[in-house]
Amino acid sequence: MSEIYEQLQKALKSIRKVTDFVPEIGITLGSGLGGLSEKIDKVCEISYKDIEGFPVSTVSGHDGKFIFGNLSGRKVVCMSGRVHFYEGYKMSEVVMPVRIMGLLGAKIILLTNAAGGINTDFKPGDLMIIRDHISVFVQNPLIGQNPDELGVRFPDMSSVYDKALISQLEDSAAATGITLQKGVYIQLTGPSYETPTEIKMLRTLGADAAGMSTVVEAIAANHMGLRVAGVSCITNMAAGILDQPLNHEEVKATADAVKDKFERLVMHFVQVVH
Ligand code: HPA
């Protein structure tokens, strides 16, 4: 058994001691978007600190736990809070929670995040469907011994974000009266925000929104054959677009201001997704 798979099995065992809940859909909630977890008709909750070998988040606004329960009539597991590379974890640790959601039974993973808008047509408060990503500025989470039990050594990334799920997200937006942007998300390591020149460069490369998560989780989920959908909440315009400095308080405040819209979209999507 590969080392990573062995670690995952230990973590899985800790969870299975507490619950035999089998989710259909796994959801990660980005900065300031954790309120959705309160809409879950909760069956059980497990803190990352109670799971053997699990990384524990340290950022304010990211409390790390799995919430199991029913949302819009579907069985979900929700990652409330995630761990980030900038906290000092290895990328293989950063993707443990998403891998565990898959091993618990989830076949569909919805990844959400707070992101800076690089596309100047965007405005703070917009929601963006992720149609593709750029991963080349962060370490690949699959570096190291390949866990063959999960997937192949050289996985295809031609369509990381499932086309049917993108279309269902668009249908949910139409049904709930929400306008969505669609674009390319780029992950950077953080924790510092980008410079105006870096943002100009990233725009040239084809990125529409920048953040510090999601891409590595999408790669790991895709590697193990899960269907992935992603939604970014554009919490601020990226550096240099507006004449104002960036800060985490603004990110959390914008995410909080759009939480009703975000929750409506996700709850409808979860109800109809197939
Ligand atoms: N840059 C990177 N990550 C972010 C941003 C940003 O502007 N906003 C929220 N997360």
Domain hosting residue 268, numbered range: 3-272
Phi, psi of 19 (to 5 degrees): -150, 145
Is pLDDT of 61 > 60? no
pTM of the model: 0.96
Which of 39-43, 46-50, 179-183, 203-207 has the weakest average pLDDT? 46-50
- Determine which residue's CA is closest to atom 9 belonging to ligand 1: 115
CATH number of residue 91's parent domain = 3.40.50.1580
pLDDT band, very low/low/confident/very high, at 32 (cuts 50, 70, 90): confident
Asked if 41 and 69 count as a contact pair (C-beta separation under 8 A), the reply is yes
Q: Is the pLDDT of residue 103 over 80?
A: yes
Q: Known binder of ligand: residue 31?
A: yes
d(CA 144, CA 131): 27
**What per-residue confidence (pLDDT) applies to 63?**
61
62 is in an annotated binding site: yes
Ligand 1 atom with minimal separation from the 238 CA = 7
Q: Whose C-alpha lies nearest to ligand 1, atom 2?
A: 211
Distances (CA, A) of 168 to 108, 123, 174, 175: 13, 23, 10, 10
* Mean pLDDT computed over 67-91: 93
Do residues 265 and 231 lie in contact, with contact meaning Cβ atoms separated by under 8 Å? yes
Interval 190-226: pLDDT, tens: 999 999 999 999 999 999 999 999 999 999 999 999 9
Nearest to 113 by CA among 266, 271, 268, 267: 266
Any ligand 1 atom below 6 A from CB of 116: yes
The structural domain count of the chain equals 1
Nearest 5°: CA angle at 54, between 212 and 31? 30
> With a 6 A CB cut-off, is 251 part of the ligand 1 pocket?
yes
The pLDDT of residue 57 is: 65
Tell me the DSSP string of the chain: --HHHHHHHHHHHHHHHH-----SEEEEE-TT-GGGGGGSEEEEEEEGGGSTT-----STT---EEEEEEETTEEEEEEES---GGGT--HHHHTHHHHHHHHTT--EEEEEEEEEE-STT--TT-EEEEEEEE-TTS--TT-SS--TTT--SS---TTSB-HHHHHHHHHHHHHHT--EEEEEEEE---SSPPPHHHHHHHHHTT-SEEESSSHHHHHHHHHTT-EEEEEEEEEEEPTTTSSS---HHHHHHHHHHTHHHHHHHHHHHHHH--
**Residue tagged active-site, from 37, 113, 213, 232:** 213
Ligand 1 centroid, distance to 162 Cα (angstroms): 24
CB 46, CB 19: distance < 8 Å: yes
Report whether residue 211 contacts ligand 1, using a CB cutoff of 6 Å: yes
Amino acid at 117: G
186 in ligand 1 pocket by Cβ < 6 Å?
A: no
Q: What is the pLDDT confidence band of residue 83, given thresholds at 50, 70 and 90?
A: confident
